[in-house]
């Protein structure tokens, strides 16, 4: 019998109960639900709304229920006698079963509306801690890989076309910066997560003389949500969190895409360890980058979770509506998907190996074309004219299947009298890197500086 059944004469159709029950989903909030209830009953006792002895009985009962769920004695799988609408009612029903009618006092001055809003915020708080820790682990793995390969020169790309020579470490560290902004977004989100809705009741507050600030402090929450309607009727914090997670997954997906390309036979630049690759059921030679592909694919799930919650909330009138029960599956799925992706990505990257890129093949040194243009600019030529001259030289190389270094000084001077003997010093990938002067560039000096900086910020000891 539902705990709210007093005003009903008929019984709820079992099919309606099965359809409306969220217990199979929200049972994972049992820790947060019990934590919130312990703080709530402590506040009720402090304000003498319930007696100290009743509060102690409730607290003991809740602690016992927590152990029962942790050990599996109380499964909450929807099959036991306490199967009901949600985790809140299941725990309260078990509490009444254990300690009698005193257990019914727990819900004084509280509604399931502010109760679930609180539970989700406590869950978000823990999830943000977990995800930011995993982001840090991946950042450390990237920095370690960058340090190991800090002298490896590769081609940078735009439009998937060779652009300019860079250090692989510089490329890898760009993802460390992206992930750091992901961490900052989540930590900023935490400020809004850490606001307590408890005490808002169903929507209008309560006539009992509760102390909302005391309950919030007990839970380690920093502020109150000021308006009782707002406290129970919005899920913007959850949406913000999912948005942050979607951006992080986007960054992982881009990195995964590059790893997939790099490890292909056509590029043959990177090799994923056997522990994070799979084979083919029919083609014995295959070594597939399945883990990277799955991270790329799972990004769509997180995008879908964000859109799902936005769609759930988009037309809801104030205050609470049962539609909001559907917020948990996208929330939990995002936490599980992002946490798993971050964890496996760090392990996969740690076992990856990179191979030197050959720049001595015909056409390979065309990535130095910008260096030639800059050379002419430093001789006094406007950049647009220098760009045009070098473009004509590129056409010559492509037509004649020659490298820039194979063009004679005489030929260079046919395109511009500003070319001197020193031009051949600049047609070198190492020189190109050394010539970079701007902070945050791919010069070996700046990359070493960046590695030292990230090792300090991430507290990498070695």
pLDDT at 443: 96
Confidence label for 75 from pLDDT (cuts 50, 70 and 90): confident
Task: Please tell me whether residues 187 and 273 are part of one structural domain.
Answer: yes
Q: Of all residues in the chain, what percent carry a pLDDT higher than 70?
A: 94
Residue 68 CA to residue 435 CA, distance in Å, equals: 66
Burial class, 238, CB count within 10 angstroms (exposed 0-12 / middle 13-18 / buried 19+):
buried
Which residue shows structure tokens 């997939």?
260
| Mean pLDDT across 381-386 | 96
Q: Which of 72-81, 150-159, 365-374, 452-461 is least confident?
A: 72-81
Dist. CA 73–CA 67, nearest whole Å: 8
Which pLDDT does position 427 carry in this prediction? 87
317-329 pLDDT, tens digit each: 999 999 999 999 9
Structure token pair of residue 234: 């919005």
CB-based burial, 251-269: b 16+ in 10 Å, e otherwise: bbbebbebbbbbbeeeeeb
End-of-domain residue from the set 329, 354, 379? 354
Domain with residue 27: its CATH number is 1.10.275.10
User: Is 67 in the same domain as 40?
Assistant: yes
Give the pLDDT score at 8.
52
Task: Indicate whether 192 and 327 sit together in one domain.
Answer: yes
Question: When comparing pLDDT for 67 and 1, which is higher?
Answer: 67
Helix, strand or coil, per DSSP, at residue 165: strand
What is the number of other CB atoms lying within 10 angstroms of the CB of residue 277? 18
Same domain, 125 and 79: no
Structural domain includes residue 216 = no
| pLDDT score at 39 | 98
pLDDT of 2 higher than 60: no
Write down which residue in 354, 389, 408 finishes a domain: 354
- The count of other CB atoms within 10 Å of the CB of residue 311 is 12
195 contacts 122 by C-beta, under 8 angstroms = no
Examine residue 76 and state whether it is found in any structural domain, yes or no.
yes
Domain that holds residue 386: 364-457
* Residue 1: inside a domain: no
Backbone angles phi, psi at 194, to 5 degrees: -85, 40
Per residue in 264-280, pLDDT (tens digit) is 989 999 999 999 988 87
Q: If 0-12 CB within 10 Å is exposed, 13-18 middle and 19+ buried, where does residue 139 land?
A: buried
Domain membership of residue 209 (yes or no) is no
Q: Which residues are registered as beta bridge partners of 157?
A: 162
Check residue 23 and give its pLDDT: 86
| DSSP structure string for 412-456 | HHHH-TT--TTHHHHSSHHHHHHH--STTSSSHHHHHHHHHHHHH
pLDDT of residue 82 exceeding 50, the answer is yes
At residue 81 the predicted structure's pLDDT band, cuts being 50, 70 and 90, is low
Q: Of 73-82, 103-112, 169-178, 427-436, which range is least confident?
A: 73-82
Residue at 218 is within a domain: no
Does residue 257 sit in the same domain as residue 377?
no
Over residues 176-205, the pLDDT tens digits come to 999 999 999 999 999 999 999 999 999 999
Which residues are designated catalytic?
Answer: 159, 280
Q: What is the mean pLDDT of the chain?
A: 92
Determine, yes or no, domain membership for 368: yes
Q: Which of 317, 334, 354 is the last residue of a domain?
A: 354
- Between vectors from CA 202 to CA 6 and to CA 20, what angle results, nearest 5°? 60
Q: Which residue has the tokens 């490896």?
A: 152
Q: Among 66-70, 277-281, 368-372, 407-411, where is mean pLDDT lowest?
A: 277-281
Residues 176 and 269 in one domain: yes
Same domain, yes or no, for 103 and 122? Answer: no
Sequence-ordered alpha helix ranges (H) in 112-221: 112-148, 168-193, 212-218
Euclidean distance between CA atoms 426 and 375, whole angstroms = 8
439, part of any domain: yes
Are both 99 and 121 inside the same structural domain? no
Strand partners, 154: 166
Residue 4: predicted pLDDT: 47
One domain, residues 280 and 241: yes
Which has more confidence, 430 or 281? 430
Query: What average pLDDT does this structure show over 220-228?
Result: 97
Q: Are residues 254 and 233 in the same domain?
A: yes
Does 403 share its domain with 432?
A: yes
Cβ atoms of residues 418 and 389 within 8 Å: no
pLDDT at 147 over 80: yes
Residues 376 and 278 grouped into a single domain: no
Per-residue pLDDT averaged across 253-267, rounded? 95
pLDDT reading at 146 higher than 60: yes
Q: Is the pLDDT of residue 130 over 90?
A: yes
Q: How many Å apart are CA 245 and CA 239, to the nearest integer?
A: 10
Dist. CA 104–CA 127, nearest whole Å: 31
Residues 402-429 have pLDDT tens digits of 889 889 999 999 999 999 999 998 888 9
pLDDT band at residue 364 under the 50/70/90 scheme:
confident
User: Residue 44 has what pLDDT?
Assistant: 98
Distance between CA atoms of residues 417 and 408, nearest Å = 13
Q: How far apart are CA 389 and CA 28, in angstroms?
A: 66
The number of folded domains in the chain is: 3
Question: What CATH number should be reported for the domain holding residue 388?
Answer: 1.10.40.30
Residue 220 lies in a domain: no
């Amino acid at each position: 019998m539902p705990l709210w059944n007093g005003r009903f004469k008929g019984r709820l159709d079992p099919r309606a109960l099965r359809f409306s029950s969220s217990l199979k989903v929200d049972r994972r909030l049992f820790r947060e639900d019990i934590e919130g209830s312990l703080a709530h009953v402590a506040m009720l006792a402090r304000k003498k709304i319930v007696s100290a002895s009743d509060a102690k009985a409730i607290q003991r009962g809740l602690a016992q229920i927590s152990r029962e769920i942790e050990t599996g004695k109380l499964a909450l799988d929807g099959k036991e006698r306490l199967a009901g609408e949600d985790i809140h009612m299941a725990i309260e029903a078990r509490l009444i079963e254990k300690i009698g009618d005193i257990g019914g006092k727990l819900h004084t001055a509280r509604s399931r509306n502010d109760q679930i809003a609180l539970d989700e915020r406590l869950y978000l708080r823990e999830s943000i801690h977990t995800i930011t820790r995993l982001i840090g682990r991946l950042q450390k793995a990237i920095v370690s890989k960058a340090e190991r390969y800090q002298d490896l020169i590769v081609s940078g790309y735009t439009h998937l076309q060779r652009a300019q020579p860079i250090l692989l470490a510089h490329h890898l560290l760009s993802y460390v910066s992206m992930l750091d902004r992901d961490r900052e977004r989540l930590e900023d989100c935490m400020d809004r997560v850490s606001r307590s809705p408890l005490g808002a009741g169903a929507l209008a507050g309560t006539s009992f003389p509760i102390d909302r600030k005391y309950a919030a402090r007990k839970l380690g929450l920093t502020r109150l949500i000021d308006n009782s309607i707002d406290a129970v009727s919005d899920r913007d914090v959850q949406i913000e969190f999912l948005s942050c997670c979607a951006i992080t997954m986007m960054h992982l997906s881009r990195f995964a895409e590059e790893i997939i390309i790099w490890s292909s036979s056509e590029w043959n630049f990177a090799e994923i360890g056997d522990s994070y690759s799979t084979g083919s059921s029919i083609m014995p030679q295959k070594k597939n980058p399945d883990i990277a592909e799955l991270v790329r694919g799972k990004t769509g799930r997180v995008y879908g979770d964000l859109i799902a919650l936005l769609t759930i909330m988009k037309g809801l009138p104030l205050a609470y509506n049962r539609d909001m029960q559907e917020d948990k599956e996208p929330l939990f799925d995002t936490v599980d998907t992002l946490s798993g992706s971050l964890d496996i990505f760090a392990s996969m990257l740690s076992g990856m190996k990179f191979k030197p890129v050959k720049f001595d093949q015909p056409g390979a040194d065309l990535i130095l074309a910008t260096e030639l243009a800059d050379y002419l600019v430093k001789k006094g030529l406007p950049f647009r004219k220098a760009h045009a001259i070098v473009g004509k030289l590129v056409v010559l190389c492509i037509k004649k299947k020659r490298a820039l270094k194979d063009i004679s000084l005489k030929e260079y001077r046919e395109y511009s009298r500003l070319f001197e003997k020193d031009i051949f010093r600049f047609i070198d990938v190492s020189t190109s890197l050394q010539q970079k002067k701007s902070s945050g560039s791919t010069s070996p000096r700046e990359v070493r500086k960046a590695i030292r900086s990230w090792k300090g910020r991430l507290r990498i000891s070695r």
